[in-house]
Amino acid sequence: MSRASRVSGDGARDAGPAAQDTAAAQLRRLLHVIPRIADGREHPISRLARIAGVEDNRQLIADLESLVDRFDMPGGFVEGVQVWIDGKTVSVVSDHFRRPMRLTMPELCALQLGLAVLRSERPPAEHAVFERTLERLRRIITVLPQNRAQEDIRAARLDAPGDRTHLAAIRKALGAQHRIRLEYRGGSAHRSTWRTVCPYGILFASGAWYVAAHCDSSNGLRFFRLDRIEATESTEEPYTIPPEFSLDSIASNGQVLDGTPITTMQVRYSARIARWIAERDEMTLEGDGTLVVDHPVHDVEWAIRHVLQYGPDAEIAAPPEMRAEMVRRLVTMRDGVGTE
């Protein structure tokens, strides 16, 4: 799931990176800090600044702002990180760090080849660093089992968010908190209609990008798929996001929580990954090291994708109809038959 990005706090807008700072240095700090705090809890900014190796708290705040303050879709745009800065603490929610990163054997070999090429292009004085890294890669490659199940995987991507100009307009309206008019065609509609909405956030859920917004026509919170927006018109009409609104309350694990769950899916995670999930979600492992989790299901497509992402390390234990659906999908993939 991807959540909308928002920054708030005291003095954050006055912060700026040091004159000699570089984008590479800023990226290193972010990659060093965010995985440690992307749990939705509050963390002292002063402690994080020490971890990041900066002396001024404002520098870290500027780093976090640069990650999420993207209203015109430039390169490096990150939609799936939500940052809250409040006084002396910061809270980060990011699904980009919710899964352990794993490389396939071909990817590891490609990394080894790339490092060897870089070594050949560098002066002899720098070869020792490459040799140490290459030796570590060789040790990893020799002890890892072959993962033939992933050998045919070439690429993966999130669904396109539709016309990027519409997305940019919505993000601009969200940043300024101005109402925006959308020409929108619902999934079952034969033609589009105009709606005036107050954007509350942008998220990726149930396999598509959505804008969560208050719709003036229906006088309630609605979800608009970005790829079904056909035109936008900006306005100067201000609005206020309700203080009680939270994307966490309407989305969870990649689902839009709209109404009552249609079922509960029980998933058993293997001992190989269960400890990581248990520590992340503060849960207790079974005696054999596995983990059993009950997931409320609002969308079957989300449920299937959630289990498939873990490959052989996740199994649907219940209900029987969800297990049967998973078997059907696996047979379809095995036989190479496309699905709608």
Q: Name the nearest CA neighbour of 162 among 114, 204, 132.
A: 204
Q: Is residue 71 part of a domain?
A: yes
Q: Is residue 91 part of a domain?
A: yes
β partners of residue 213: 199, 222
Confirm if 179 and 197 have CB atoms less than 8 A apart. yes
Domain range for 176 is 164-247
User: How confident is the prediction along the chain (340 residues), in pLDDT tens digits per residue?
Assistant: 333 444 443 433 443 444 446 667 777 888 778 877 877 788 898 888 888 888 888 888 888 877 766 544 433 444 566 788 877 888 887 655 555 556 667 777 778 888 887 887 778 888 888 888 888 888 777 665 554 444 444 444 445 556 778 888 998 999 899 999 999 987 656 788 999 999 998 877 656 788 888 998 888 888 888 888 999 999 999 999 888 877 766 665 555 655 567 788 999 999 888 887 887 777 888 999 999 998 888 777 778 888 888 888 899 999 999 999 999 888 887 776 544 3
Same-domain status, 181 and 221: yes
What letter would DSSP give residue 336?
Answer: T
Q: Is residue 2 part of a domain?
A: no
Which residues of the chain form beta strands (DSSP E)? Answer: 42-44, 81-86, 89-94, 178-184, 193-205, 208-215, 220-225, 229-238, 251-252, 255-256, 263-269, 291-297, 314-318
Same-domain status, 269 and 226: no
The torsion angle over the Cα atoms of residues 253, 229, 65 and 250, rounded to 10 degrees, is -30
Same-domain status, 73 and 129: no
177: tokens are 């908190």
Same-domain status, 241 and 267: no
Q: Is residue 315 part of a domain?
A: yes
Residue at which a domain ends, from 247, 273, 302: 247
Confirm if 2 and 55 have CB atoms less than 8 A apart. no
Total domains in the chain come to: 4
Q: Whole-prediction pTM value?
A: 0.40
Q: Is residue 330 part of a domain?
A: yes
Cα 284–Cα 289–Cα 290 angle in degrees, nearest 5:
80
Alpha helices in 144-224 (DSSP H): 164-176
